[in-house]
Amino acid sequence: MKRIFILFFILLSAFFVQAQQIYPQDYFRSPIDFRMLLSGTFGELRPDHFHTGIDIKTRSVEGASVYAAADGYISRIKISAFGTGKTLYLTHSNGFVSVYGHLSAFEKSLATYAKEQQYKRKTFEVDLYLKKDQFKFAKGDIIALSGNSGSSGGPHLHFEIRDEKTQEPINPLLFGIKVKDYIRPVINSIRVYPSGKKPFNLQLAGWGENYRLKDGDTIGLPNDFYLAINTIDKQNDTKNNNGVFEVALFVDSVQVFGNRQERLNFSTGRYINTFIDYAYYSEYRRRYQRAFVGEHNKLKLYTELKNNGVIHLTDSIFHQIIYQVKDANNNVSKLKFYTFLDDSNKFEPLPADTVKKAVFYADRENIFKAENIKLIMPTNALYDSLYFHFDVLKANKQNYAPIYQLHSKEVPLHKYIKLSIRSDSIPEKLKSKILVARIDNNNFIPSTTKWEGSWATASIRSFGNYTLIADTVKPQIRRINFSKNKVLKAGDKLSFIIKDELSGIKSYKGFFNGEWVLFEYDAKNNLIFYTVEQKRLLKKNKILIEIEDRVGNKSIWSE
């Protein structure tokens, strides 16, 4: 029995306590040839995910040379209007893969190959897996030019280092890649979650290494509580607010909680919604990292965990609390204060839940049915069990069903759930145009919808207010940079704005003198463009653009 207990303790410790590994320090070089400044750090907190690389500033312009970080071969080329846009994957002999995203152009041989594949498939978006050593590069070779492609918010280079076997991204700053950083992390505030009581914020004072409570160094708290922290990192010579590397919490010098942004897993990234206080973020757009790990949290970035992060006070003596925050350059900031057991009733209780219509459990499938609506939630769609709140609101003129209030947008969903809304009054010819849509600040956010008999069905991943709407409007096409009678020459860029106000663009095609040609798609700017090639020019040139939205509305532009 004793041996079994010891083995269990070892396995449990191995699961939670992740000792930082040693990574090669001289193998990788910087992927740029100028001083590295970061606009985003590894593990930074983003909507529904952790940032899986570092974002390197490129002086606010596109076209900076991007270099192979080490010897290797291109194993993958991905081109998308979303995500990291034009992306290269360089596999190395030491078991790692370096990734370069938001590029504007590839090295000539790569660009030629990618373009051949795009024309072969007649599509802009491709995901190409290459043979080993098909395209080899040496450390320091130029492999691309930086850009702003995909979902980028401005010119920069997204850079990752991944474990080749697991494809898990690892913090690139642990590989000896240098960033000038002598600035300590900033601790903005903490949040207290007393058991059964309403959470509240504590304002702080201080700077540099030492922070303290703004209103004295001691505060009484109930016997059970946990904490959360709002903290950012800064680097020299840049104003960006970036994510921190490591957070640790100590009670009387004993570490009770810790997390480290060393390695991530794409399959668990959405658990960020239980890593932070999602309800507070949903309302105030400010993220607090919780020093608490719920039962259904599968993240493995925790380095220490006692009692799931809950602090239990059992006596009336003073206890020291220390929050310690580090960045990847080992700059440290600390918040220190004292607490004692305060069993008075001064803490505001949680508001009573008076509308208990149904219990939804996190560890099992949940099915909810009401008049003209069904909801099916798979196991582990929720992070925590809850009392499900539901209401029916009056429909607006543009709605084809009542507005169904599904719980609260302050509660995150981990998995997609199936929502079905019944409507017998919609004409058959209109059904193909109907969308299940969430209403957010008077805007409709549609989901891909299909009909199952009289039920309009969609997979949704957010609670909120839902209804049925119709999209009968054709997509818009508008040229922006050339006139009707312009004499075209090789190298001219033909650009169009394409937009759809509701369901969104499903597909587009561009033809030049009767042949399909490669129009690149910049989705964030609603832009497609084609660079005219000499071999396709005629004395009189014809251009044709076809667009279809997600419910089958089509538009054609020709000249």
CA–CA dist 464, 299 (Å, integer)? 26
User: Which residues in 41-185 belong to E strands, given as ranges?
Assistant: 45-46, 49-50, 54-57, 65-67, 72-79, 86-91, 96-106, 126-129, 136-137, 142-146, 156-163, 169-170
User: What DSSP designation does 129 have?
Assistant: E
- Look at residues 395, 396, 405 and name the one whose alpha carbon lies nearest to residue 368: 405
Secondary-structure class of domain 476-558 per CATH = mainly beta
Residues in the chain with pLDDT < 50?
1-17
pLDDT at 492: 96
The per-residue pLDDT for 355 is 64
d(CA 506, CA 57): 32
How far is Cα of residue 220 from the mean position of the Cα atoms in its chain?
A: 37
16 burial type by CB count under 10 A (0-12 exposed, 13-18 middle, 19+ buried): middle
The reported pLDDT for the residue numbered 354 is: 63
Residue 481 burial (CB count, 10 A): 11
Provide CATH code, domain 358-470.
Answer: 2.60.220.30
> In b/e form, how buried is each residue of 256-279, taking b as 16+ CB within 10 angstroms?
bbbbbbbbbbeebbbbbbbbbbbe
Cβ atoms of residues 324 and 248 within 8 Å: yes
Q: Give the per-residue pLDDT at 17.
A: 47
What is the CATH number assigned to the segment(s) 38-175?
A: 2.70.70.10
pLDDT in tens, 231-257: 999 999 999 999 999 999 999 999 999
The confidence score (pLDDT) of residue 484 equals 86
pLDDT of residue 12: 43
Report d(CA 228, CA 287) in Å as an integer.
9
Return the CA Rg of the chain: 27
Provide the pLDDT for residue 485: 84
- Say what the pLDDT of residue 4 is: 40
CA distances from 19 to 122, 177, 325 (A): 48, 21, 17
Domain residue limits, the chain: 38-175, 186-341, 358-470, 476-558
| DSSP state for residue 276 in the 8-state scheme | B
Give the phi and the psi of residue 77 in degrees, each rounded to 5: -125, 125
- From CA 261, how far away is CA 246, in angstroms rounded? 6
